Structure formats: structure tokens, C-alpha cells
Amino acid sequence: MANLAIGMIETKGYVPALSAADAMVKAANVEIVARNEVGGGLVSVVVRGDVGAVKAATEAGAEAASQVGEVTAVHVIPRPHADLGKHFSAATAK
């Protein structure tokens, strides 16, 4: 897990989130580990992979999502601390 990263994209609505997810897995060797409906119409997609792949994936995903809707946040956590697994077990397990 030392070289893994977590990438997150949050959008307003499901369609841009789906577009982001599709673009992320096509752009880099990442795995979708979660999709969350946050509330208020916000949807987040979480991916996992090596740091470079996650950065490339989130850039591609944000671009794709912004073409069909609104991106509210994009963030990459390189080499997340092991304690983060308490909150994002699906994203950090493996």
C-alpha cells in the first residue's frame, strides 16, 4: 500500500459522476472502489491505484465530468496513512 493513492471526484449529479468514473478507468490503471451519494445532489467517485495513475485518472475524470455537468471537488491523497482505512476501508484495503 506504500505506493498507492486514493483519488476522489465529487460532482453535482449522477451523470457527471458516471462520466468521470468512465474517463478515469479508461485513462489510467485505477480501480473504482466507491461511489457515494453525499446528499444535496452531490455524488463522489473514489479510485485507487499508484500515485501517478490516480493523478492522471482524476485529471481525465474531472475534464470529462465538467463537459456534462459541474465538478465540485477533485482531490488525490498519495500514500494515505493506514489509519485512514477506518474511514475509507474500501479505498485503502488491499
Considering only residues 1 and 46, tell me which one the structure prediction assigns the higher pLDDT: 46
Query: Residue 89 pLDDT > 70, yes or no?
Result: no
* Separation of alpha carbons 78 and 32, rounded Å: 16
Residue 37: alpha-carbon gap to chain centroid: 13
**Per-residue pLDDT, 94:** 46
**Per-residue pLDDT, 84:** 77
**Per-residue pLDDT, 2:** 61
The answer to whether the beta carbons of residues 61 and 3 sit under 8 Å apart is no
Q: What is the pLDDT of residues 18-37, one digit of tens each?
A: 999 999 999 999 999 999 99
Rounded to an integer, the average pLDDT of 31-45 is 94
Indicate the residue type of 53. Answer: A
**Per-residue pLDDT, 83:** 79
Domains recognised in the chain with CATH numbers: 5-91 (3.30.70.1710)
Exposure b/e, 45-71, CB count within 10 A at least 16 = b: bbbbbebebbbbbbbbbbebbeeebeb
| Nearest alpha-carbon partner for 70 in 3, 11, 20, 24 | 11
DSSP 8-state assignment for residue 85? G
Query: How much is the pTM?
Result: 0.87
